[in-house]
Amino acid sequence: MSHAASCRCGQLKATVTGVPVRVSVCHCLNCQKRSGSAFAAQARWPAEQVAIEGRSSSFEKISDSGNRATFYFCPECGSEVHYDNNGRADGQIAIPLGAFDDPYFLEPRFSVWEERKHGWVEIAGDAVDHMD
Amino acid sequence: MTANTATCRCGQLRATAEGDPVRVSICHCLACQKRSGSAFSAQARWEAHCVKCEGESRQWVRTADSGQQTTYHFCPKCGSTVYYGGGNFPDLVAIPLGALEDPYFEYIDYSVWERRKHPWVRLVGEHIEHRD
């Protein structure tokens, strides 16, 4: 079973096959800035299960811990379609949940950086691990 | 009067809004999920004359099924959308909540397109007006 993700104008695409390694939401300020939303939502797959097509621009961010993350977005519409988090998730590719044409096939198992969570939202589900 | 400044991740594109926003909302529609990469988008809107924008931006125009156009301004270096205008609110400028230096509002006014809401998202607060 494969699932397609794309930018808003459609030229940058990522297609995943199989089961993700991890599905999570993150409430940290960096992820809020990246998404523009209250939290970011993403799933990670082994790189060999992700096929990427199209042109992208990249933005690199080095975290306080020294890990390097590279984010790939469409130069035409600005949508982010995939990113790597080296040092933390080597060999994996993360895809924002909202980039999928059908974003409802996954649910988060982890909700992290809840100390930065907005008061008006909760992440529901018995299986979700909540972390500060 | 207080100011709230929004920036992209690399910091070169900025929008400074003066005073309280007219409207704070989240939207669960698929286009807003794609834009944010998250489960919903979150944004605050100000009268256009209250917002000052600086820096280099690239524009992407989305035409809705209704024919209305919205122009999104994002940073060509890091991809973050910092402000947008048009659509249902031609006299207002919208800023993604996560882009703001202070993204924490006590409550949101509206939650729209809830027919597309992810079941694991729970919204809290009696002030919120919910729309399908």
CATH 3.90.1590.10 for domain B3-130, yes or no, is yes
Beta pairing partners, A102: none
CA distance A101 to B34: 8
| Contact residues, chain A, for B123 at CB < 8 Å | 120-122
Q: Using 70 as the pLDDT threshold, list the residues of chain B that sit under it.
A: 1
**Residues 6 or more apart in contact with residue B86 via CB below 8 angstroms:** B68, B69, B70, B71
- Which H or E run includes A1? none
A61 reaches B (C-beta below 8 A): yes
DSSP-derived letter for residue B87 is T
At B1 the pLDDT is 56
CA atoms within 13 A of residue A131's CA, in its CB half-sphere: 11
pLDDT tens digits, one per residue of B26-43: 999 999 999 999 999 999
3-state class (DSSP) for residue B129: strand
* Tokens standing for residue B116: 């597309």
The whole-number pLDDT of residue A67 equals 86
User: Coil, helix or strand for A73?
Assistant: strand
pLDDT in tens, B58-73: 999 999 888 899 999 9
ipTM of this complex: 0.95
A62 sits in which H/E element: strand A57-62
Phi, psi of B116 (to 5 degrees): -100, 10
Cα dihedral value B42, B48, B50, B53, nearest 10: 80
Q: Enumerate residues 97 to 126 of chain A having a beta carbon within 8 A of any beta carbon in chain B.
A: 97-99, 103-104, 107-108, 118-125
Tokens of A120: 């008006």
Q: What angle do CA A41, B8, A123 make, to 5 degrees?
A: 20
Which of B31, B42, B120 is opposite residue A37, by nearest beta carbon? B42
Element holding A34 (H helix, E strand): helix A29-35
B79 close to A (CB below 8 A): yes
Please name the residue of chain B whose CA is at the shortest distance from the CA of residue A39: B38
> What pLDDT sits at residue B64?
87
Cβ contact, residue pair A78, B72, below 8 Å: yes
Report d(CA A38, CA A121) in Å as an integer.
Answer: 8
Q: Minimal CA–CA distance to B35: which of A79, A33, A58, A82?
A: A79
- Residue A122 to residue B122, Cβ atoms within 8 A: yes
Of A7, A29, A108, the CB nearest to B120: A108
Residue type, B87: G
Cα–Cα distances (Å) from A5 to A51, B3, B99, B116, in that order, read 10, 37, 23, 17
What is the Cα–Cα distance from A12 to B76, expressed in whole angstroms? Answer: 15
Sorted by where each begins, the domain ranges of chain A are 2-54+94-130
Walk along chain A (132 residues) and give the pLDDT tens digit of each residue.
899 999 999 999 999 999 999 999 999 999 999 999 999 999 999 999 999 999 999 999 987 778 899 999 999 999 999 999 887 788 999 999 999 999 999 999 999 999 999 999 999 999 999 999
- Using the beta-carbon criterion (under 8 Å), do A35 and B36 form an inter-chain contact? yes
